Amino acid sequence: MLESIRVTGNSIALPPKPKSKVKRCHFSTLPKPKLQPEPQLSRSFEKGDDFSGKRFCILTAIKPTNLEKERLRFFKSDYTYNPQFEYANSSLPGVLARHSNASDRFLKQSINIMELTLQKYGSYEQFEQATGGSLLSKTRIWSHVRKYMMKEGCMGEIVVHLTEDLLSRASMTVVNGCPTLTINVSTAREHWLEGMLRHEIGTHYFRGINNLQQPWNSWTGRKKHELKPNNPTEEGLASIHSVLFRKDPFLWRAALLYYTVYRASQMSFCELFRDIGKFVKDPNTRWDYCVRAKRGWTDTSQPGCFSKDQVYLDGILQILRYRQTIDFHLLTALGKVSYEDVDRLKGLAITENMRVPHFLQDHDRYMEHLEKIMEVNELTDRELRDLIY
């Protein structure tokens, strides 16, 4: 069941973009919203690194078409059956070739983060309840989203969908030329929802909107200015913003995603399901993590992974490593750029009318919370310097 709403208000005019045909990414069955004409949004609004018009959405392509059928079969087998996934897209081998190499660079840190969390809370389920709070009703989700949009001054700019059919907690994409936020209602918790909105709107949306005004707002422009890929910076920054103001900002989700991908590269689906049981007890949650790590593969009895989910912890640790020298205001204002390119590009950037989220306005408070993330996850500057140079 999927519901949608256009959050209304005084719409702020978006800057024009180079003419390009916008393709749907997620939720191609969604009805086209009845909207007033707006300037079209470029693909540079979205998260990916390939800005060519021919790019199809990877995450849509690697979603199995028989997911529910295989889930039922897996649970009925008492977790002993390795799912055999089917896909609608024939381009998968090429996609997997680019995203099948798992790294162990931050494996030690990912395990340590999860062990610290379990030491304090006993289990993931207790951590989720104690720090995330209760699951929210749809009415309360709408209310939280409206309040956040008012805070950021973006009422009327984003279409919001609520769904239960999403592997992630939320997704910011372009549908029919409109910025679209899709929220997974089955994971929307009271104390974590604003962090998700900082992730999707305060990071992805604002960096995407700012990118539209820059000379690198197209694939040609990025090539001309020799930009590095926007990931892992994009997802690392967004993931930091997810936990930024939490009482205990454990980097649990990024750590578990990183770990699960690495283990998937060595294990079958069933072996992986059993292995992550030491961190997560709930079978449905474990299924979701295993599917994320094994998606794109047909025969999951074989070792193999979809490695993209390692980008979150990778990006977080890189940003924390250089947090004292990064200009976080510019990192948002310059659009879809890597933190490594900020100093080089700032002289070329168009900085008038740039959109920066409210939580970046108080620099001292922001930096204090980055220090808290370091402290709670027992990360040290020396450790990060040794790993990232």
Q: Give dist(CA 279, CA 242) in Å, integer.
A: 21
Q: Taking Cα atoms as reference points, which of 89, 22, 23, 90 lies closest to residue 60?
A: 89
> What tokens were used for 338?
């890597």
What lies within 8 Å, CB to CB, of 145 at 6+ separation is 7, 160, 181, 183, 197
Catalytic residue among 128, 194, 200, 235: 200
Query: 345 near 330, Cβ under 8 Å?
Result: no
How far, in Å, are 119, 178, 190, 342 from residue 338 at the CA level?
35, 25, 31, 7
Q: Are 173 and 26 in contact (CB under 8 A)?
A: yes
Rg (the chain; Cα; Å): 20
Nearest to 194 by CA among 122, 140, 263, 156: 140
What does the alpha-carbon distance between residue 75 and residue 73 come to, in Å, rounded to a whole number? 6
Q: Is 383 known to be catalytic? A: no
Instruction: Report the C-alpha gap between 377 and 380 in whole angstroms.
Output: 9
Query: What separation in angstroms does the CA of 193 have from each of 141, 184, 215?
Result: 8, 11, 34
Q: Is 162 helix (H, G, I), strand (E, B) or coil?
A: strand
CA–CA separation, 233 and 210 (whole Å): 16
Q: Which residues contact 17 (CB under 8 A, 6 or more apart)?
A: 39, 40, 41, 42, 44, 212, 217
What is the rounded CA–CA span in Å between residue 135 and residue 132?
8
Helix axis angle, 67-76 to 283-294, nearest 10°: 130
Which three-class secondary structure string do you get for 327-383? CHHHHHHCCCCCHHHHHHHCCCCCCCCCCCCHHHCCHHHHHHHHHHHHHHCCCCHHH
- Active-site amino acid positions: 200
